[in-house]
Structure 1
């Protein structure tokens, strides 16, 4: 009896949604590994490096090239929508109003771990096997450094909701810092991907994008919210296509398409529900497709060793940067430590970032796997380390 591609696809979807959910619910992992983290780990375990190595025949019978192509299509659109929403939610007006505090904190929270990560990257590329076929040394080092500096704004929102500080003044401060770093992430990515052979296309994209943004913003101000959602998705697809054509990658276009829109044009509750629906219904497919790209070509010891070095650089750099900002700005005792640990959340945005570096051949599969492990470890540390510090801060401030 022949199994159809549709049947194999639905078997894969069944695995994607069932296995991580059961682990999360039965194992009660929410304190140290929220569902999103379990889904990312599940993607790694279901990939060729673990399931594929242990049961190659079983793995190849389900995750055929046709099934992987179908899953990738869903994953591409899912992550584009997710990044689009993250761009819309950036509150640049409030950040500008408090520009000194935001600039110092966001700058140090990004620059210090970037330097620590870049130093770790220099050590790693000295071993060999970490730079991709299209990656120059400066691109690899800057890419690894930026991956260590990233804070995943959407996951940070989920974590602060869990800690019940999202709408509090402290939570809004932390969102401003992370928002500024989000903008820097995409700026650095554009620099890494700058292609002198396609510079004409990239300049054309920026010019046309500026004109189109002016037209789209005028249109958005004149139509109802329901039409804004539909028009926004059309705008998302167009920007993703144009950015990819220009050689900047469709994810750069996705972020820009959201960043130029105003969050006040969309109902906040609807925005939260839309983001939650994406996380629930389609982002698990992106996590699996990410896991399918993990490789252990250099051997497990080398990959895990690289991941451990990157984790130390990432955590130490972020904490050092935030503590320095707290000392300059005169924060209350305990604030810098709490903020530093909350800004450790790296899953999603960092995974998107390193997926792009892998797509463009800047890093190897081994480097991608080590960075992915670092992101998971850093994110898993965030809540367990932040929760007791938040309790102490509340007790001290009354």
Structure 2
């Protein structure tokens, strides 16, 4: 068969099998479609189906097909990260800076510390968790940050599912996650800092600041249709510049969105755009992610590492939010609800881990353990958050901001 025909067979597998399993099994309450697609990528990858049927794997996922799939995956995930940056609302966060700062800080630092401890434990047991180009501090900080990540785009989908996205409670949760999102990309830039390219990176920062200043003055003057097209040009330029200077094109994609204002784009169109990218392009990214999974240190070891990281991630997030609730005097049940939602990993953590793997900072086995942890944490979110939300919303003060609610008590 020609490469085109095999490529289309790969697309047929990517889009049909995970969706059919998800629909026939009726597991949408526990497993969102995006998680099912990630699981599908792992199963279809070299570690499971590929190991059982190597002829199938070598026929469908030949190098030229994988290269084409990776190109689609790169662009799709760049758009998704750009949307995450665009949806940051720093002005709203500034208006509630004390509450947001305390909550975001604790929600980030506690799982980060526990994740770093878990990484140290793994490295002490086996050096196979480190990538060939990774220093100990990069591996520890990278795995720790992966445990602290909140998947902002997936969180938006979950808040929509729970019907609180546009409610005060949903906006509070997004506010907390948004500040952590900035920290994630800042830490990633630190991990990827390349002293051999420090001059290029300094040039990138200076050029980006100047270009962002110009873009912020030009874009509002354009018709909305032109803003969309211009934003994609800006996205590609930032991605290229960030990758050229030794950071990563995902850092550039996030910055490209973060300097734009969401109000410059119609909200409904942006929501539809995100949904369409998630539907039409992101399954290719999930499959390409699954193709990177490895089990060379042993399946039991990988699952054990994933369990350790899951405990650090979920336990750290819940503990951090419990501390925030005590400091800010939240209602009973608020901290637990917000904690279960903010511990959602899925997409952003997988992107983060992909970058660490691409830069050979972590090993494929570490990546596989992080991927399994992300799947498990995301599957826990809705089943554990939904009943707590019902109890909380029965309280008439649930819709108010914390400070307002405290004044009413």
TM range (shorter): over 0.9
In the other structure, the counterpart of 2:380 is 381
TM-superposition CA deviations, 1:24-59 (whole Å, max 9, x none): 111111111010000000000010001110000111
User: Following TM superposition, where does structure 1 have runs of at least 4 consecutive aligned residues deviating by more than 3 angstroms?
Assistant: none
SS in 2 for 1:141: helix
Which aligned pairs between 1:284-323 and structure 2 lie closer than 5 A? 284-323=283-322
Report whether the alignment pairs 1:324 with 2:323: yes
Cα distance in structure 2, aligned partners of 1:318 and 1:207: 35
In the other structure, the counterpart of 1:164 is 163
In the other structure, the counterpart of 1:38 is 36
Which aligned pairs between 1:1-398 and structure 2 lie closer than 5 A? 3-127=1-125, 128-397=127-396
TM-superposition CA deviations, 1:80-109 (whole Å, max 9, x none): 000001110101110011000000000000
SS in 1 for 2:22: helix
SS in 2 for 1:186: helix
Cα distance in structure 2, aligned partners of 1:308 and 1:131: 18
SS in 2 for 1:129: helix
In the other structure, the counterpart of 2:406 is none
Shift of residue 171, structure 1, vs aligned partner: 0.4
TM-superposition CA deviations, 1:211-240 (whole Å, max 9, x none): 011111111021111100000000000000
Shift of residue 395, structure 1, vs aligned partner: 2.4
TM-superposition CA deviations, 1:341-371 (whole Å, max 9, x none): 0111100100000000000010000000000
Cα distance in structure 2, aligned partners of 1:126 and 1:371: 18
Cα distance in structure 2, aligned partners of 1:396 and 1:349: 33
SS in 2 for 1:383: helix
Cα distance in structure 2, aligned partners of 1:100 and 1:309: 32
Shift of residue 272, structure 1, vs aligned partner: 0.1
Structure 2: runs of 5+ lacking an equivalent: 398-409
Cα distance in structure 2, aligned partners of 1:352 and 1:30: 23
Cα distance in structure 2, aligned partners of 1:256 and 1:394: 36
Aligned length: 396
TM-superposition CA deviations, 1:122-169 (whole Å, max 9, x none): 001112211111110010000000000000000000001001111111
What is the root-mean-square deviation of aligned Cα atoms in Å?
0.7
SS in 2 for 1:390: helix
Cα distance in structure 2, aligned partners of 1:34 and 1:397: 30
Structure 1: runs of 5+ lacking an equivalent: none
TM-score (norm 1): 0.99
Cα distance in structure 2, aligned partners of 1:147 and 1:272: 26
Shift of residue 255, structure 1, vs aligned partner: 0.3
SS in 1 for 2:394: helix
SS in 2 for 1:345: coil
Cα distance in structure 2, aligned partners of 1:346 and 1:265: 28
Shift of residue 396, structure 1, vs aligned partner: 3.8
In the other structure, the counterpart of 2:404 is none
SS in 2 for 1:90: coil
